[in-house]
A = this chain, B = another copy of it.
Amino acid sequence: MKSYPIAKSRRVRSTPYTSRIEKQGVTAYTVYNHMLLPAAFGSLEESCDHLKKNVQIWDVAAEISIADSDVIFFAKGLASGNKFDVKIFEPIVDILAVQGPKSFDLMEKVFGEKMKELKFFGFDYFTFNGAKHLIARSGWSKQGGFEIYVENTNSGLKLYDHLFEIGKEFNVRPGCPNLIERIESGLLSYGNDFDNNDNPFQCGFDKYVDLETDINFLGKDKLKKIKEKGIDRKLMGVQIDLTKILLTSSLNIKNNDGNIIGELRSACYSPHFKKVIGIAMIKEPYCKASSSGTIEIDGNSLALKVCDLPFI
């Protein structure tokens, strides 16, 4: 498929790391939260393989909001409507992710042994070059790693360069959230796999929704009703015997009678599975691992198998 350049402007914000990643060979961008988010450094397959074995530094400054949404407006609307006396603002942080199995050794080399004591999703402050950085053991891959919430840009840029310098022994490379790795791992993407028209139970987020708590929260009653009624569709994994795919919008999935039973929302070729895998919203009663369907890609009708998430 032909590629199209992205037109840069102030509205599509660059990050403090943009000039660095462009020197380092970024080959595609997406836009996330009105910011440039690197989408590829050469082959997705090679980057995925490297990420699973080594360590990568990611410019994920675009992560300043909750997913790709101006959710800050929701908070401002709520505050205004409820007449709350609060100040609501976006954090000024330029987030770096350090991802991959060797991220632990690399980060220990910079920040000391304490880094390895951080629990999953734990965080603490660490000093580099005279500035304090909040570092969390988190990140948008399942290969392990950290996110660094850079408030002091100068120190952050020095840290960025330092990580590459001393990371050579760990085979460090620039990278970005990897489409293949995130689909294999079942890391869902707002706007791709689900959006405002899907509820948490349809997305498999049951374990993050506690309806028995005494604490009240927005939508609690509605979610109780939804749970009682049961869901009519669910996000599932799918597999297609195909060696490549480039999905730019949803594709309908049909049963043998030609009726639509769901839609494919994300997909990639997985070198691990040697086939195309994807994430699809599948209707009842087809949203279970034994189902099958067909999908039309480039004019060919192909068989598709439904499976559980995550793939790995």
Contacts and interface: CB of A to CB of B under 8 A. Distances in A.
A252 interface: no
A84 B190 CA distance: 27
Contact of A6 (B29, B68, B73, B189): B29
Contact of A78 (B6, B11, B26, B81): B81
A12 interface: yes
A86 to B, nearest CB: 12
A215 interface: no
B81 A77 contact: yes
Q: Which of A13, A71, A73, A218 has the most CB atoms of chain B within a 10 A radius of its CB?
A: A73
A31 B248 CA distance: 14
Contacts of A249: 10, 13-14
A265 interface: yes
A22 interface: yes
A247 B14 CA distance: 11
A171 interface: no
A266 B6 contact: no
Contacts of A79: 77, 81
A283 B10 CA distance: 19
A40 B79 CA distance: 40
A68 B11 contact: yes
Interface residues of A, number: 50
B78 A34 contact: no
Interface string A171-200: 000000000000000000111100000000
Q: Which of A27, A75, A78, A82 has the most CB atoms of chain B within a 10 A radius of its CB?
A: A78
Nearest to A5: B3
B29 A7 contact: yes
Contacts of A83: 81
Contacts of A69: 70, 73
Contact of A40 (B7, B22, B31): B7
A272 to B, nearest CB: 21
A242 interface: no
A31 B31 contact: yes
A127 interface: no
Contacts of A13: 249
A28 B31 CA distance: 14
Contacts of A40: 7
Contacts of A78: 77-78, 80-81
Interface string A92-122: 0000000000000000000000000000000
A67 to B, nearest CB: 9
B8 A31 contact: no
Given A71-B70, A74-B77, A77-B76, A27 B4 contact: yes
17 contacts: A2-B22, A3-B5, A4-B22, A5-B5, A5-B28, A6-B29, A6-B31, A7-B29, A10-B248, A11-B30, A69-B73, A70-B70, A71-B73, A75-B77, A77-B80, A77-B81, A81-B82
